[in-house]
Structure 1
């Protein structure tokens, strides 16, 4: 039998490999039943790549969660650090914790602690990465836009929608109206038709609102409707997915250049309504 000697050249990796120019790797931590975040984000970044020439790849870790209830959401949270360590093995440049309501279920401003925990797990694994979360991205993006009042759509049961409402209002943003589609099964949420969202948005009580949150959930498909609703209502429209995309681009130092997904990602200044 041939003998092998473990030389420095053959040793397991002990330091992160150098980053490849013109390419960014994005890690996603998603619920095991999520079917939307890994389709909408790659599509958004495909448009970004088409406009800028910079390329992006996606690398996911899944945490068990089938039904959108408090018990399963909190159980998922406990797995986030392990998922972060696993993703960081791919030497990603940024990690997005892509379950908005799992973070919000922990209480006010919980995104800060969740993001710190994920960043620590990646760093301790030898692959530090910038970290955002869908919960943090949504509230920070609204704050950065200067939005004080919104109307929003969620797929959740009413108690969870109320929890999301209170979380957002705890960040200083008033929720004038919130529609609950009351779908408990997370796979069923992913099958909702985004073509129904324009009518749902029309029915929102949005007088006085400065922006519409068309999907306060990373699992509810919304991308095909974002630009349609923004053009029709004349208000900035964001979703958990577009806010997460915005923050990933921000931490990477890349200017948004994405078409057909609302003014937030277009690269142009977002104009809020005046006279409210």
Structure 2
């Protein structure tokens, strides 16, 4: 009998979405231990990264003496704001402290888009413009252009937490153009479990979210290590 996979997810303290959605998308990874990172009550900005990095390492400290197979660094904005090199440094730090395989949402975003063979994507976010600019730079540094970006422009975590799947679907449909090659919904707090399959069916292009990309990358990493963790792509499979 295959043993249970031990997974820790590292997320901003306000995040209520990523843990249940990853558990639904990849039940083999559940249950997930959750390390919650202290953060400002507003949208994360570049100048917050040093303090957020320190808070991340503090958040995982109570867990480091336990055996983990997989650690998920699940904050999209913290991953991309410092650029690919900064994201990789955090992944390395988490790996060194836990001894586990580590995947990050920012890296998963790039991997799924490359896997779909697209070099340009439409994007939906909840972020303010300085953060959206950071996302554009991160994607472009990875060889993926942003065709069009629309945002909820959430100023606080309370505003972010109030966004519904219906809101995500509506903004996504206003964002995609007839020439769009793909759509990515960025942010691991935005609810997308049922939204992504609906958008794929109606738009007929690859559609991914931060959470779905992270679940896919985590499942892929565990399967590569010999611990089967099938990823459920469609709602009919969940």
Q: TM-score, normalised by structure 1?
A: 0.77
Whether the aligned pair in 2 keeps the contact of 1:31 and 1:62 (CA below 8 Å) is yes
1:119-198, aligned counterparts within 5 Å? 119-122=95-98, 128-198=99-169
Give the number of the structure whose alpha-carbon radius of gyration is greater: 1
Distance 2:149 2:230 in 1: 28
Distance 1:186 1:221 in 2: 14
Distance 1:115 1:216, change over 3 A: same
Distance 1:168 1:261, change over 3 A: farther
The runs of 4+ residues in structure 1 deviating greater than 6 Å are none
Q: 1:77 aligns with which of 47, 53, 60?
A: 53
Distance 1:205 1:37 in 2: 24
Distance 2:50 2:188 in 1: 17
- Partner SS, residue 24 of structure 1: coil
Aligned counterpart, 1:43 = 24
Task: Give CA deviations for 1:156-206 in whole Å, capped at 9, x if unaligned.
Answer: 112211211111111000110010111021233122111122222221143
Distance 1:259 1:247, change over 3 A: closer
1:241-252, aligned counterparts within 5 Å? 241-252=211-222
* Between structures 1 and 2, the one with greater helix share: 2
Distance 1:211 1:177 in 2: 11
RMSD between aligned alpha carbons?
Answer: 2.1
The alpha carbon displacement at 1:67 in A equals 1.8
Q: For this pair of structures, how many residues does the alignment match? A: 231
- Partner SS, residue 19 of structure 2: helix
Distance 2:118 2:230 in 1: 19
1:1-276, aligned counterparts within 5 Å? 21-46=2-27, 54=28, 56-65=30-39, 66-70=41-45, 71-122=47-98, 128-213=99-184, 215-253=185-223, 254=228, 256-260=230-234
Distance 2:34 2:164 in 1: 24
Distance 1:63 1:255, change over 3 A: closer
Distance 1:142 1:55 in 2: 22
Whether the aligned pair in 2 keeps the contact of 1:226 and 1:261 (CA below 8 Å) is no
Distance 1:33 1:73, change over 3 A: farther
Unaligned 5+ runs, structure 2: none
Whether the aligned pair in 2 keeps the contact of 1:74 and 1:105 (CA below 8 Å) is no
The alpha carbon displacement at 1:108 in A equals 4.0
Distance 1:103 1:55, change over 3 A: closer
